[in-house]
Amino acid sequence: MMRTIPSWWIIPAALSLAACGDSDPQNPDAGTAQDGGTTSDGGSTADAGGTADLGATNDSGMVIVEGNFTVNVSSTFAAGDNLVEAYSGKKVTVQADGTITMDIDPSGIMLLEKEADSSASAPFSWDNATVYFVITDRFENGETSNDNSYGRKRDGSDEVGTFHGGDLKGLTSKLDYIKDLGVNAIWITAPFEQIHGWVGGGNGGFKHYGYHGYYALDYTRLDNNMGSEQDLRDLIKSAHDRGIRVIFDVVMNHPGYATLEEMATYFPAVLKNNDWRTWEPTGNQNYHSYHELFIDYNHQDWRNWWGTEWIRAGLPGHIAPGSDDLTKSLASLPDFRTEDFRTVSLSPMLKNKADTRATEIPNYTVRNYLVKWLSDWVREYGVDGFRCDTTKHVEKESWKELKQASADALRQWKQNNPNAKLDDLGFWMTGEVFPHGVTRDGYFDNGFDSLINFDFQTAAKTVVNSGNELENIFSGYAGSINSDPTFNVLSYISSHDTSLFFDETGGSLPLQYRVATAMMLLPGGVQIYYGDETARPMGPSGGERVQGTRSDMNWNNYPQELLTHWQKMGQFRNRHLSIGAGQHARIPHDSAYVFSRNYSANGTDDKVVVVIAGLN
């Protein structure tokens, strides 16, 4: 039978399946194991061939998959085993010679699992986590009445840095969509109360609010734009009901900027006048010009902001920021003095904030306050984990204390809510240590279960076209991560702080399809950035490129076939602990990249075989 790959997976000539291998063009057999040779893992290539023609294209440039496909699976499955090819749903039985032969799906992918495992969910493990990272404000608006909380306003232009209306209620309404991706954890932007006003964004081209959760004002209150405390409880309960854990983004390095709104409320003497309330830039001005027009940076009342004991800042009476990672001021943000062991009073601003839940605690340091405020969310709501922002800019001891306090808080919540807990797993933490790769270091001995893997986003652009390069990634990651129970990483292809894979590859749907295959089969944890699965395009950036990566979710305009592919790959991953946590072995094949994953531990035995046609 002849099959044609759909139009949404048309491969440009330069990336045709016939050109996807790493073979030496002067020696077509270089780098391949053929004619009974030895593979990199010592396996034999006997009975490894297939009969499908995968290199031809039709007049439209579509790759044609022709005929049946044979794979030797004897290293993983026994003769007589009944298997399901999960991508197409077809069933096949392993023959006496250890092979299976079937008509391959037009996608060129075979996901082979035992029939008995095809409808079961794997026991959850953070080692096999699929995390969906969502900027809550840009995802789904579930309650329009909170869109302009604290007097926040749209700018009437590109809305680069304003609040767009997404909230916790909207996110809750999309949990079934997220579950269908095979996701078992959601990472949401920090929901704590953010600065009420704006600062100049980029080169002063737009008003920049704290829509992303990195400009905290009060760690003890939920931001009204995100919704109510009941909305948060509903989100976590609804997520848990679907087997999905909830991770908060948290920041211990810095609070938000002081905006004109906060100055007017808590230390108005630093303002030169009140003309700022109706001001818009004119002439050569931009949104940075308010600094010179309205603010006296030499006024002593700056002490009434966070307080000189709390932060480093270039302000009267404050310790100036340093030049090393732990004491520098990132993007001119105030730097929390978490390393200082001297006790402090409650921040002057919080003392005067009527609705704060922060209270004076004797003998507390800055670190103690932050750890308590953050872990209290775990204790009260049952938050399952933290993604820790700007990790390398805070001493490891602070992170270790946060982990210990949060682990205690989650145990307490589970004891108090035995019918609401998912299981008895402990609190989980991953961290952003730019540009960390797949390396175990001291962070893993100081509270971290995982670190974000910055390497894969770059590697993904090339590995999607080469079986040999995929093998290097898969075998390398599995060998490093899955041989050490104290080590894991969280890999991604798109990020709010870097770029969107879809944009970086020129809006290529074929590559977005292929990278889904590669990433969802990675050992270790993986992170989908909202819209990876729908080819979400960049939005306006205002001259600051990362802002464009935070565009609104493209609910009304996406290729359904691409979404379906991500769903199939994600659900397969979610059913099989072996994908993220198992041992990896390549299976030789003449015209495809084939491998197995095997996991056997803690009472769970799981194994799969995966075929990616055309890569070798």
Which residues are tagged catalytic? 389, 432
Alpha helix (H) residue ranges in 281-395: 290-294, 348-351, 366-381
In angstroms, the CA 245 to CA 199 distance is 33
Q: Look up residue 496 and give its DSSP letter.
A: T
**Segment (H or E) for 188:** strand 185-188
On whether the CB atoms of residues 25 and 19 are closer than 8 A, the answer is no
Q: Collect contacts of 459-462 with beta carbons under 8 A, ≥24 apart.
A: 460/493, 460/501, 460/515, 460/518, 460/519, 461/501, 461/504, 461/505, 461/511
Alpha helix (H) residue ranges in 164-259: 168-173, 175-179, 229-241
In angstroms, the CA 294 to CA 70 distance is 74
Looking at the DSSP bridge assignments, the partners of residue 92 are: 83
DSSP 3-state of 240: helix
Alpha helix (H) residue ranges in 396-500: 396-416, 455-463, 467-481
In angstroms, the CA 98 to CA 90 distance is 18
Residue 395 — left, alpha, or beta (φ > 0 → left; ψ -120 to 50 → alpha)? beta
Go through the chain and tell me how many residues it has.
616
Distances (CA, A) of 212 to 56, 134, 247, 514: 47, 10, 15, 29
DSSP letters for 568-588: HHHHHHHH-HHHHHSEEEEE-
Backbone angles phi, psi at 362, to 5 degrees: -60, 140
DSSP 3-state of 522: coil
